[in-house]
Amino acid sequence: MNILPPSSPLLRKLERLISPTDEERQAVRQLPVQLANIVPGQDIVRQGDRPLRSCFIEEGITCAYKTTGSGKRQIAAFHIAGDAPDLQSLHLKVLDMSISSLTACTVAFVRHEHLRELCRLQPRVADALWHETLVDGSIYREWLTSVGQRSAFARIAHLMCEMIVKHNAVGLCFYVDGKPSIDWAVTQTQLGDALGLSTVHVNGSLQRLRSEDLIYLKGGRLTALNWKGLQEAGDFDQEYLHLHDDLFNGGAITSTG
């Protein structure tokens, strides 16, 4: 058993969301956690599990996926540092999806009993955790909209925008020549599984994104050569990521996004 490192992206997210008091901060910092290193391509939890703990990503990228009866696979989410991919299992008894690592990851497991106690004693922290799960829900709605209504080209651009904004929010987006750039560990097969497209079509659409000078994608790195253009191509509006929410005063007062 261990505690979260002071630099934990989870703690930083909490700062942004609720500006915690010292007491709240301490309560989170002193959570008993179990840190684990995960190799790429490993299932962290599986559909059907009844987990007694949830994990928080300290480093690396994971995906959540479901498998259909005919063996097809839908990736429903990508999660990065600071995210809690299976926080829902705190209240949903049986996991309805699996979580798998895309890259080498460091994750912090926290037992549900400790999370529940934390929620009882620190209601604003509970609100922040609830908020996290609601943002996940919002992202699902947006993905559904993408897969249901947007072209393959737009879907890919949209996802890239989302990943860039999410990385930026936790300080993992770097700028080269003023152009946003992130680590990109997603293979074309995985892109297809996330967006409901075949790899062949993903490949073709990527070529078009390149040929229109919207992106540079190579060697595990994605750069938005034309950030405005990429957002337009993807019909992207970051509102749904709810990055400007804050839960000060129990949410009684809202700040303008």
Partner DNA sequence: CGGATCGTTGAGTTGTATCAAGACGGGTGG
Partner DNA sequence: CCACCCGTCTTGATACAACTCAACGATCCG
Q: Interface with DNA includes 219 (CB under 7 A)?
A: yes
d(CA 66, CA 36): 24
Using CB under 8 A, which of 12, 88, 104, 210 touches a second copy?
Answer: 88
Work out whether 127 is an interface residue with a second copy (CB under 8 A): yes
Confirm if 133 and 70 have CB atoms less than 8 A apart.
no
Q: In the complex with a second copy, which residue's Cβ is closer, 141 or 218?
A: 141
The answer to whether residue 74 forms part of the interface with DNA (CB under 7 A) is no
How far apart (Å, rounded) are the C-alpha atoms in residues 77 and 99? 9
For position 6 contacting DNA by CB under 7 A, the verdict is no
Give yes or no for residue 145 binding a second copy (CB under 8 A). yes
The correct pick among 198, 237, 248, 251 for binding DNA (CB under 7 A) is 198
28 vs 30: CA distance, rounded Å: 5
User: Would you say 67 or 151 has its CB closer to DNA?
Assistant: 151
Q: Which two tokens stand for residue 90?
A: 């705190």
Contact by Cβ (8 Å): 53, 30:
no
Interacting partner of 32 out of DNA, a second copy, none (Cβ under 5 to 8 A depending on kind): none
Question: What is residue 86's DSSP assignment?
Answer: T
3-state SS, residue 73:
strand
What span, in angstroms and rounded, lies between the C-alpha atoms of 208 and 36? 40
Q: Report the residue number, 4 or 224, with the smaller CB distance to DNA.
A: 224
The least CB distance from residue 254 to a second copy, in Å, is 5
Nearer to DNA, 74 or 88 (CB): 74
Q: Is 187 in the site for DNA (CB under 7 A)?
A: yes
**For residues 34 and 87, is the Cβ–Cβ distance under 8 A?**
no
Q: Candidates 4-12, 34-42, 221-229, 240-248 — which segment interacts with a second copy by CB under 8 A?
A: 240-248
CB 14 within 8 A of CB 28: yes
Quick one: which segment of 94-102, 162-170, 172-180, 204-212 binds a second copy (CB under 8 A)? 94-102
DSSP state of 176: E
Hunting for tokens 């599984």 — which residue is that? 193
Round to whole Å and give the CA distance between 205 and 166: 22
Q: Does 159 bind DNA (CB under 7 A)?
A: no
The residue range among 25-33, 164-172, 173-181, 233-241 that interacts with a second copy, by the rule CB under 8 A, is: 233-241
Closest distance of CB 22 from a second copy, Å: 21
